[in-house]
Amino acid sequence: MKLSTIKKKFKNQWVLLECTKTTEGFRIIEAIVLAHLKNKKDLYRKEAQLAKTPKNPLSIEFMGKYPEIPFIPLIFSLPSLRSNSL
């Protein structure tokens, strides 16, 4: 199944894919859907079971847009590396 079809069929779900066709840069073109769930952790368990006998590479992908996370700058100070006792 083409990745575009998988994205439409399993919108906003995590899918475990067996990649049957990829580009040279390992982008998925076609795949077989082995499992689909809303919870990513459950897919990791399923992947562990299926990874023992893979015919093709397996991949876990989210078929939707990731929620935007606002950028929050972290400001911290590092302790001085100089010793005050000279």
Cut 0.85: pTM above it: no
Q: For the chain, how big is the Rg over CA atoms in Å? A: 21
Q: Which residue has the higher pLDDT, 65 or 59?
A: 59
Phi/psi region, residue 34 (left: phi>0; alpha: psi -120 to 50; beta: rest), is alpha
Mean pLDDT score, 19-45: 89
Residue 69 has pLDDT above 70, yes or no: no
Q: How many Cα atoms sit within 13 Å of 3 on the Cβ side?
A: 18
Separation of alpha carbons 10 and 14, rounded Å? 8
Separation of alpha carbons 60 and 62, rounded Å? 7
